[in-house]
A and B are shown apart, each in its own frame.
Chain A
């Protein structure tokens, strides 16, 4: 009994260590209040450890941990009612206005002109993420940071596969539109010398 409990701790930490960086990145992007990210992470890890006896080794530990962390982050976001205050939805018409037919091209130009991701792109990225709903943001981050499969994302969030694809599509569309708009604003300011 004692040996199994000790080995459980070791096993848990061995599984946790390789995904710590990704969990932290995910949590910092998902949670509204950056100062709450460490608490959310610790709470999620402790909850996972408490439930580790029920964890099946056949399942993906990565997906399981991301699921618990997502619930923790959502609970904190709800608790502080940040979503309603910070989140704003873009209507489809507005999206179309922002990203006309050549939007991907604009974005590609933006990407190539940007010359890679630097710290300067951080505010843009953070602001772009704020245009997404909680689910869209979680789906985008679970794919981009967590590198989970669509099936795993669906299981983590408790939504069907079709919803995963829909949310991911909308999230990418909004991000493209936002970044394109941001780039157009920048070039406008540059041209006008403001």
Chain B
């Protein structure tokens, strides 16, 4: 490796971020090149000084005690919010107990409610049946009927495709007014 290739890699080299092969090549170069070795040594010294400076200052005990207390409190709150398995079983038992008691107290009310519910379901089912459209079975058309229908269709298509008659001036004749238009004009005149 040349000096201009080695020097830009001094940061990653000193941070041990390079792959083994490149690291070895730089290591070899530094053994041979005293100038690069000097630059790298200085860089390392600066880096160590900077690192030592940045890592000054101790943990503030009071602050971290407060933070840890807050974490524990949040953990306890989370515990209270989530139901325990025993609590869940108790809840299911309480609901079934309540249902059983209310059934024992007012059986007729429950029977009435059940009957009403059944009636609603029955009505719903019958309504669906009546809503369904009856399908009328029609006999299949005969061959002559099909031919006749096709002929009619062809005639209609030819009528539509016919070009309108043009006058000598090249303008197309205006279509004669329909019965409704005639009626409208008559009404206006009168």
Contacts and interface: CB of A to CB of B under 8 A. Distances in A.
A50 interface: yes
Say whether chain B's binding surface is mostly helix, strand, loop, or mixed. Answer: helix
Contacts of A21: 58-59
Contacts of A67: none
Contacts, number: 108
Residue among B56, B67, B78, B83 with the highest chain A CB neighbour number at 10 A: B67
Given A24-B57, A117-B56, A150-B15, A8 B75 contact: yes
Contacts of A41: 63, 67
B11 A117 contact: no
B66 A42 contact: yes
Given A111-B49, A145-B54, A105 B71 contact: no
Interface in A125-140: 125, 140
A184 interface: no
Interface stretch (A54-62, A85-93, A168-176): A168-176
Nearest to B39: A104
Contacts of A20: 59, 64
Given A116-B52, A125-B54, A42 B67 contact: yes
A187 interface: no
Contacts of B72: 9, 13
A1 B85 contact: yes
B37 to A, nearest CB: 12
Contact of B43 (A24, A104, A144, A168): A104
Interface string B79-94: 1001111000000000
A166 to B, nearest CB: 10
Given A1-B84, A175-B50, A111 B45 contact: yes
A98 interface: no
Nearest to B61: A20
A95 interface: no
A5 B78 contact: yes
Given A5-B79, A45-B71, A165-B12, A117 B57 contact: no
A149 interface: yes
A46 B77 CA distance: 13
Contacts of A149: 17
Nearest to A111: B49
A143 interface: yes
Given A25-B54, A111-B45, A144-B51, A5 B75 contact: yes
B74 A50 contact: yes
A1 to B, nearest CB: 5
Interface string A140-167: 1101110001100000000000000100
Nearest to A108: B42
Residue among B53, B54, B82 with the highest chain A CB neighbour number at 10 A: B53
Contacts of B32: none
A12 interface: yes
B34 to A, nearest CB: 14
Contacts of B46: 104, 107-108, 111, 172, 176
15 contacts: A24-B57, A42-B66, A42-B70, A46-B71, A49-B75, A108-B46, A111-B46, A116-B52, A125-B54, A140-B54, A149-B17, A165-B11, A172-B46, A172-B47, A175-B50
